[in-house]
Amino acid sequence: MSRLVTLFGGGGFLGRYVAQELLRNGARVRVAERDPSDAWFLKPLGGLGQTQFIAANITKPDSVARAVDGADSVINLVGILKGDFDAIHERGAANVAQAAKAAGADALVQVSAIGADPESLSGYGRSKAAGEAAAKAAFPTATILRPSILFGQEDDFINRFAAMQTLPFVPVMRGDTTFQPIFVADAAKAIAAAALDPAPYAGKTFELGGPEVISMLALNEWIAKATGRSPQFVPVPDALGSLIACAGSFLPGVPITRDQWAMLQTDNVVSPGVKGLEAFGIVPTPMEAVAPGWLVTHKPRGRFAANAKTA
């Protein structure tokens, strides 16, 4: 019988791609969401009875235990960019790992992030590191995957910057900070591989990045070229950026929080010597190969623009 994989966070941006990869490989997928209706769009992707849905909240151990009952593998994708980091990233990860162990699952994949570090300047980074430790404490053979910034058609990264470039002047914070964006489908393949064939990856930590290391300013310039825009990029001094971020922690509508500002103080790239996508036999996809297919909608005349590329 095919493996049963419980997927926490399957209705999210990354989750939809992980679910697709699991289903494509014949797994039975139990999608665990606080509101299962948020993930119902996944049902047509699998065969009859291949996809299940269950209500679960990783902060509530009883609901987590029900979600992993009988599962062969458990994947935890749940993460937040603002809010109670410790409740979600640390205690939530502990709940999932403890339940997976008690249920007799033979694989746990804990999805963390590049920048996870007990000494991180950001609460996000510190809580991600604490979540990794909690997962390992309860499930020593857990596989830890740390992706860099994810990009894809539904992302809130490249699309956000593309939407800003309709303005004549675009502010750029921390223009020298570098990223190693990874195509969401590549990350999903690695996550699914670790859940479906756990032995080669058990107990190990991997950092997942794309083929390009690019600065914040260079990324904005690339998006402008891809969308046929020509805004003036205006560097935001760090002192002003810090003030904006402080306001964003308590005022609605401000595009960055204090914790996100802290994250921008450190490059988001794969650490030297740490294994990554190559360990899964995956060749990383460059932005140029896929992003123009959806960025065309951000062109001045959208899909009717001259020389518009389609997916």
Residue 29: its pLDDT value, please?
Answer: 97
- Compute the distance between CA of residue 304 and CA of residue 311 in angstroms, rounded to an integer: 14
Q: Where does the pLDDT of residue 136 fall: very low under 50, low under 70, confident under 90, or very high at 90 and above?
A: very high
Residues 6+ apart with CB under 8 A from 83: none
Q: Which of 133, 56, 121 is nearest to 97 (CA)?
A: 133
Q: Where does the pLDDT of residue 256 fall: very low under 50, low under 70, confident under 90, or very high at 90 and above?
A: confident
Q: Which residue has the higher pLDDT, 196 or 299?
A: 196
CATH fold of 4-149+183-208 reads Rossmann fold (3.40.50)
Residue 305: its pLDDT value, please?
Answer: 54
- Is the pTM higher than 0.75? The answer reads yes
Is the model's pLDDT at 13 over the cut of 70?
yes
Q: Is residue 108 a contact partner of residue 141, using CB atoms and an 8 Å limit? A: yes
Residue 49: its pLDDT value, please?
Answer: 87
Structural domain boundaries of the chain? Answer: 4-149+183-208
End-to-end CA distance of the chain: 36
In percent, the amount of the chain with pLDDT more than 90 equals 83
Q: Where does the pLDDT of residue 249 fall: very low under 50, low under 70, confident under 90, or very high at 90 and above?
A: low
What average pLDDT score do residues 75-85 get? 94
Is the model's pLDDT at 41 over the cut of 60?
yes
Is the model's pLDDT at 307 over the cut of 60?
no
Residue 1: its pLDDT value, please?
Answer: 63
Residue written as tokens 């490059």?
267
Neighbours of 129 (CB within 10 A): 21
Helix residue spans in 201-280 (DSSP H): 216-227, 238-248, 258-263
What average pLDDT score do residues 84-89 get? 96
98-104-105-110 Cα dihedral, nearest 10 degrees:
10
Q: Where does the pLDDT of residue 303 fall: very low under 50, low under 70, confident under 90, or very high at 90 and above?
A: low
Residue 165: its pLDDT value, please?
Answer: 86
Residue 198: its pLDDT value, please?
Answer: 96
Q: Where does the pLDDT of residue 213 fall: very low under 50, low under 70, confident under 90, or very high at 90 and above?
A: very high
